[in-house]
Amino acid sequence: MEIDQEIPYRRYYVSGMSSHGAHHQAAGRAGRRSVSPAQSLIEEVEERTGKSGSPFVVAEALEERLAAQRLREVVAADRMAFGLVSAEARRQAELEW
């Protein structure tokens, strides 16, 4: 694909809860945002979930992304506080695993 080539998009309005609905109910009301994923992503999601499943896939992807970011932040804070794990500590952990 050439850099200047236009990529087709379809606009989705995402609202409602993901499959983790109980979490969202406790965290607050669902918001409404417009997202425009690439057409190829939309088609693959709709093949797997049907058209009504797309907002749930988007919500789950956002949850997973945020969880991964939070984990990276925890690891970074741990490294700042305690430094890198030594090779000896890794070997010991692998033996106990």
Query: pLDDT digits over 49-84, tens only?
Result: 998 888 899 999 999 999 999 999 999 999 999 999
How large is the C-alpha radius of gyration of the chain?
Answer: 20
Report yes or no on 77 lying in a domain: yes
Distance CA 74, CA 60 (A): 21
pTM reported for the whole predicted model: 0.60
Residue 61, strand partner residues? none
CA-CA distances (angstroms) from residue 48 to 34, 40, 56, 57? 21, 13, 12, 10
The per-residue pLDDT for range 26-45, each reduced to its tens digit, is 466 888 888 899 999 999 99
Report yes or no on 71 lying in a domain: yes
21: containing domain? 12-96
**Total number of domains in the chain:** 1
